[in-house]
Amino acid sequence: MRPSVRILVVIAVAVLAAMLIFGVSRLRAQGEFTLEGLAERLALLMAGQEQLDTRLDALEAAAAANNWLAGIPIRAEMRCTPYSAEDYRYPQMLEAQIVPETGGRIYSPYTGETFTRADEVDIEHIVARSEAHDSGLCAADSFTRLAFASDMLNLTFASPQVNRDQKGGKDVAEWLPALNQCWYVNRVVTVKRRYGLSMDAREAHAALAVLENCSSVALEIIGPAEVEPAAVEEVTPTPVTGDDIPVQSGPQPEGHPLELYDSDGNERITCAEAREHGIAPVRSDHPAYQYMRDSDADGVVCE
């Protein structure tokens, strides 16, 4: 219970005690005072105090549960010292510790993608290092900065496209993931509270707009089949030349691409699997293409 509330309770008890003493004086003057009567009134007073304490504690707990941003300063961002990624370095071996947090696979909670190799993804800081620097870590010592950079509470996986080209150093007012928004924003709030980091007014408003509509903040592992395909702008693939690259033609085998070509059952199709099944190179019009990684986005995989 907060000190201010405790003080109010003490004052209330004192007033009740004074009233009881006044009542005892009147009873004594009227010849009606007895020890039994006094004990009964004191017992009622103590029971009332316990009930009041219980109610106040319950009210405080309820208020705290609804105050998503409790303990987070709301102020404008400020870069009090120059930012350097070198001050926030972290070991790549953390990838192995992230995997259990993402369903035992190299999985991005932001997009629902599962990757076959660690070199296909980035270690992603949920609260970006530069954003944390501007939210308070610019004044922190080197040990705190390094601890933040390697804190598992703040790490997940994301594709290079999402991590570098879309999210970058943005806060929740500037970027939200396609999936797991409640988990993401709650994790941002938790990390910021742990390190005493601030939010500006826009960020705080955006965070509350998400969290106040959340029935759960748990991470959901969503498979590719459950993710609705995003609208993709039509792009004319760059022509690929060379007699060694055959053109795919004729009817395609019936069945789901993962059932036909995903030999190891990890819900992705690699170039090795494509060659094994004789479909490489895989063009954008092939059913297997959407389950493969086109790193240069030229519309052809496994050239």
- pLDDT tens string 69-78: 988 999 999 9
Q: Does residue 176 sit in the same domain as residue 92?
A: yes
Q: Does residue 96 sit in the same domain as residue 191?
A: yes
For the segment 232-244, the average pLDDT, to the nearest whole number, is: 41
Supply the range of the domain harboring residue 302. Answer: 236-303
For the segment 49-58, the average pLDDT, to the nearest whole number, is: 58
Asked whether residue 223 is assigned to any structural domain, the reply reads no
Asked whether residue 217 is assigned to any structural domain, the reply reads no
> Band of the pLDDT at 21, cuts 50, 70, 90?
low
For the segment 19-30, the average pLDDT, to the nearest whole number, is: 52
Quote the pTM value. 0.55
Q: Does residue 92 sit in the same domain as residue 188?
A: yes
Residue 59 in this model has a pLDDT that exceeds 50:
no
Count of structural domains, the chain: 3
> Band of the pLDDT at 249, cuts 50, 70, 90?
very low
Q: Of 66, 95, 110, which marks where a domain is finished?
A: 66
Q: Does residue 262 sit in the same domain as residue 169?
A: no
pLDDT in tens, 110-164: 999 999 998 899 999 999 999 999 999 999 999 999 999 999 999 999 999 999 9
Instruction: Write the secondary structure of the chain as one string of H (helix), E (strand) and C (coil).
Output: CCHHHHHHHHHHHHHHHHHHHHHHHHHHHHCCCCHHHHHHHHHHHHHHHHHHHHHHHHHHHHHHHHCCCCCCCECCCCCCCCCCHHHHCCCHHHHHHHHHHHCCCEECCCCCCEECCHHHCEEEECCCHHHHHHCCHHHCCHHHHHHHHCCHHHEEEECHHHHHHHHCCCCCCCCCCCCCHHHHHHHHHHHHHHCCCCECHHHHHHHHHHHCCCCCCCCCCCCHHHCCCCCCCCCCCCCCCCCCCCCCCCCCCCCCHHHHHCCCCCCCCCHHHHHHCCCCCEECCCCCHHHCCCCCCCCEECC
